[in-house]
Amino acid sequence: MAVVFVLLLGASEWLIRAKIVPLDTGTQHARLFNESQSPNAIFGDSHMLKINGMEGFVNLARGGAGVESKVFAYYENKDPGKVVLHADANQFAALAGDAQEQDENAGVGDGTRFGLHVLSDRFQGFILAYWRRLLVDREFSLDSKIHADGAITESTVWGGAYSDSGRLRIASSTVALQRPVTPVADSAQGAAFIRVVSYLREREADLCLVVMPTPSEYHSLAEKIPAFQEARSFVRDVAASTGTTLVDLTEAEFGQDLFADEDHLNEIGGRRAGDLIAVRCFG
């Protein structure tokens, strides 16, 4: 019986390593975070994760993970170079505050326990599903593309399957979820943002704060909400008081065909954002 268990354990470990890990965005992100020695990096949430193609940069953005702990951990033993930092208003939402309270190592573990993927919480609960996928479907696929620089993008185009009213309804729901807390200056999210900017300035990073573009539906709704305006004003004040470059890509031209959904760029849009950031931040 013990021999059978060991064989099943070994086979499941092979399955995860050979078929799952190469497609697991969390594992690939953790590997890049832990192994990269690049001084030039992009930090933020899932919106920043779409930025791709910036030569010499690693994209260490990650949806749902606190930025502060990531920045401090990444530059603990290396000097920062050119750094792109998320400056969108949505990072001051209540959900972003929850992310800041996560374990400081969240999102950068290697996805193993005692050196085995099969024993980790990340994969253990899905082992039967993995075997079913292999034996029944006989294929594994990923809707997203994992880039060598760490970006994760989609090729879809926003709105292709929705009517105008449908797009507006979806965008309205997302805007409500991402509404910044107020007053931003007194919030935990605001304090964390200031600490990260101050830390990177003290470490003499070539820092650039970036506001990402959004589709017209999201942008027009957010513009009417005072909390979003307050958050943007807060970011401008932090940039001015610390002498930090601020680039607002909402002022750039991004058509609907450059977005994957109601608030994220697709692969082509992310490449355009990367090109603009390279020039406007560091050119």
* pLDDT tens digit sequence for 71-82: 999 999 999 999
Of 165, 170, 172, residue with least CA distance to 260: 170
> φ and ψ at 59, to 5 degrees?
-95, 110
Q: Which secondary-structure segment (H or E) carries 132?
A: helix 127-132
* 260 DSSP assignment: S
Inform me whether the pLDDT recorded for 172 exceeds 90: yes
Structure tokens at 9: 């354990």
Does 170 or 107 have the greater pLDDT score?
Answer: 170
Inform me whether the pLDDT recorded for 101 exceeds 70: no
d(CA 260, CA 130): 27
What percentage of residues in the chain have a pLDDT greater than 90?
63
Place of tokens 């969108």: 88
What percentage of residues in the chain have a pLDDT greater than 70?
87
pLDDT tens for each residue of 188-239: 999 999 999 999 999 999 999 999 999 999 999 999 999 999 999 999 999 9
Look at residue 188 in the predicted model and tell me its pLDDT: 93
Inform me whether the pLDDT recorded for 84 exceeds 60: yes
* Burial class, 139, CB count within 10 angstroms (exposed 0-12 / middle 13-18 / buried 19+): exposed
Inform me whether the pLDDT recorded for 108 exceeds 60: no
User: 136: Cβ–Cβ under 8 A, 6 or more apart, which residues?
Assistant: none
User: 37: Cβ–Cβ under 8 A, 6 or more apart, which residues?
Assistant: 78
Q: Sign (positive/negative) of CA torsion 51, 31, 83, 186?
A: positive
CA distances from 215 to 155, 227, 229, 274 (A): 16, 19, 17, 17
Cα dihedral value 250, 210, 145, 112, nearest 10: -150
Look at residue 104 in the predicted model and tell me its pLDDT: 42
Look at residue 105 in the predicted model and tell me its pLDDT: 40
